Amino acid sequence: MEKAHFFGASKKWLALILCGVIILGIIAADFFINREKSEKTYVAMGTVITSKIQGKGSAEAEEEIRTMINGMETACLSWRCEGSDVYRINEHNGTFESVSQDTAKWIADCVDVSEKSSGAFDITIGKVTKLWNFDGESSNVPSSKEIEKALQAVDYSKMLFNSTAVKIAKGQFIDLGAVGKGIACDSAREILENSGVKSATVSVGGSVLVFGKSATVGVICPDDDTKCVGTINLKDKCVSTSGDYERFFEKDGKKYHHILDPYTGYPVENNLRSVTVICDSGLLSDALSTACFVLGYKGSLGLLNNYDAEAIYIFDDNTIAVTDGVKSFKLTDNSYKMK
């Protein structure tokens, strides 16, 4: 009896120990698998890209994201890359041009933001952005005559599209510079989801994707883009910043930056230095940050509501305003004040 009892008890112990060993094994395997990580920084899309990926398959996912970003620029987004979807749409202005379903969808999403922002965001601004040439080495202030002429080509409502083809009006020119980095974040998320990695942050210039687990993202100081004015904690979100410090030149003591008012053709002059937008989609966060900059603080709050997006505004008097849903913003630079 005692023996039997002892035998029964030792069996229980054995089973318990075995369970313990199996659980420890699973924890150890998970630990080693998830210790796999990849951190890379490189230049593509005319900007610096940093990806930090954790979990099994991180190196492969990183490689895939890098290939995707390079391919996306040359095959779809860049108006400079001969043969890209955008290049061909511009080249064949006035007629329908076949494009990838992705490009057609991105353009449809851009037009939606144009409609909801009453044209403050408009990818047909291309003739005007080319004139200002903020990406070039020698930027010049165009004459008012040149601006007037280029403005005649700006009108998103003249664009036509279906799921595989896009037509811009004769003489129009599209520039997807305001959304390319956000689109890259969306495509990176698709790769990460399919790869099964645990978590990642992918930063493409002014747009950042936070995937899988929460991460702290810095909001850049407009006076010194190596510093941050504050931080936010995000999880499974995209965040994009548009600022007057990103691309600009100075002429005769005046600063000209790259965010243009589609109604005047000139750089937006309001009391903003930057707008940071947080939402689920990279394309939308990127388009909205540009649109909100053009519309100004009060004029843009309604637009954000349309897309369930939140924003952080930095003003030229070193004050900061955040929308109600931005709960985690922490001010880290005491030369700035909350409004």
Query: Which of 242, 274, 285, 323 contacts ligand AMP by CB under 6 A?
Result: 242
Nearest approach in angstroms of CB 186 to ligand AMP is 14
Is 178 an interacting residue with respect to Mg ion (CB under 5 A)? yes
Is 283 an interacting residue with respect to ligand AMP (CB under 6 A)? no
186 binds, among ligand AMP, Mg ion, none (CB under 5 to 8 A by kind): none
Query: String of b and e for 145-180 (b: at least 16 CB within 10 Å)?
Result: ebbebbbebbbbeebebeeeebbbeeebbbbbbbbb
Query: Which of 289, 292, 322, 329 contacts Mg ion by CB under 5 A?
Result: 289
Is 122 an interacting residue with respect to Mg ion (CB under 5 A)? no
What span, in angstroms and rounded, lies between the C-alpha atoms of 275 and 309?
Answer: 12
134 binds, among ligand AMP, Mg ion, none (CB under 5 to 8 A by kind): ligand AMP
Nearest approach in angstroms of CB 137 to ligand AMP is 15
Nearest approach in angstroms of CB 295 to ligand AMP is 10
Q: Which residue's Cβ has the minimum distance to ligand AMP? A: 177
Is 125 an interacting residue with respect to ligand AMP (CB under 6 A)? yes
* Nearest-5° Cα angle at 285, 229 to 201: 70
Catalogue the E-assigned strands of the chain: 37-44, 47-54, 97-98, 160-161, 165-167, 199-204, 207-211, 215-221, 224-234, 237-243, 248-251, 254-257, 272-279, 310-315, 319-322, 330-331, 337-338
Is 292 an interacting residue with respect to ligand AMP (CB under 6 A)? no
Q: Using CB under 5 A, which residues numbered 228 to 247 contact Mg ion?
A: 242
Is 285 an interacting residue with respect to Mg ion (CB under 5 A)? no
321-326 long-range CB contacts below 8 Å, 24 or more apart? 321/297, 326/232, 326/278
Please enumerate in sequence order all residues whose Cβ is within 8 A of that of 294, keeping only pairs 6 or more positions apart, or say none.
117, 120, 121, 259, 260, 261, 262, 268
Q: Using CB under 6 A, which residues numbered 246 to 275 contact ligand AMP?
A: 246-247, 258-260, 262
237 binds, among Mg ion, ligand AMP, none (CB under 5 to 8 A by kind): none
Instruction: Name the burial class of residue 24, with classes exposed (0-12), middle (13-18) and buried (19+) by CB atoms within 10 angstroms of its CB.
Output: exposed
- The smaller minimum CB distance to ligand AMP, of residues 294 and 322, is found at 294
Binding positions for Mg ion, rule: CB under 5 A: 178, 242, 286, 289-290
Binding positions for ligand AMP, rule: CB under 6 A: 121-123, 125, 129, 134, 175, 177-178, 206, 242, 246-247, 258-260, 262, 286, 289-290, 294
